[in-house]
Amino acid sequence: MTTLKKGDKAPSFSGKDQDGTTHTLADYTGKKLVVFFYPKANTPGCTAEACDLRDNFERFQANNYALLGVSADNAKAQGKFKDKFEFPFPLLADEDKSVIEAFGVWGPKKFMGKEYDGIHRTTFVIDENGIIDDVISEVKTKAHAAQILGV
């Protein structure tokens, strides 16, 4: 699981979003970047989390933040999720888990007594110079913007 912590250099990543556009860490130099990893598009917790970020998007923009959602869903599923809820930020379709593994959020999970490997809901806040400013592993899906912005 993630060993990244505040003060570490963020992993250099490259991934394609729902439209096939490539996003890299370098694209966000000079901006604060929120990279939020979620288990699966269109599930209740993931929807609540992404909608809370959407509803506070103007506050993020006003504070020089860009947002990037990441899951192992394919581009079509990410596109449907984005369109259905009108998210103003891209969603990476990380099917090969290269970004997920670079950030160390793939690992064993338990749900209803069963153990399996999956994405741990984790958010990384990266500063303008590519340094991790915060790692949020106890994500409050309905109040996630407040956790990030501290309001």
d(CA 63, CA 142): 20
Is 46 designated active site?
yes
Residues 61-89: tens digit of each pLDDT: 999 999 999 999 999 999 999 999 999 99
Residues 24-64: tens digit of each pLDDT: 999 999 999 999 999 999 999 999 999 999 999 999 999 99
Measured between alpha carbons, how far apart are the two ends of the chain, in Å? 28
Q: How confident is the model at residue 3 (pLDDT cuts 50, 70, 90)?
A: confident
- Catalytic member of 46, 50, 70, 145: 46
- What's residue 38's pLDDT? 97
Residues 105-131: tens digit of each pLDDT: 999 998 889 999 999 999 999 999 999
Supply 104's token pair. Answer: 């160390």
The answer to whether 123 and 139 are in contact (CB under 8 A) is yes
- What's residue 107's pLDDT? 92
Q: How confident is the model at residue 2 (pLDDT cuts 50, 70, 90)?
A: low
d(CA 108, CA 83): 31
The answer to whether 34 and 68 are in contact (CB under 8 A) is yes
pTM of the predicted protein model? 0.95
Q: How many CA atoms, within 13 angstroms, populate the side-chain half-sphere of residue 123?
A: 26
String of DSSP letters for 26-73: GGGTTSEEEEEE-S-TTSHHHHHHHHHHHHTHHHHHHTTEEEEEEES-
Q: Which of 82, 50, 73 is nearest to 148 (CA)?
A: 50
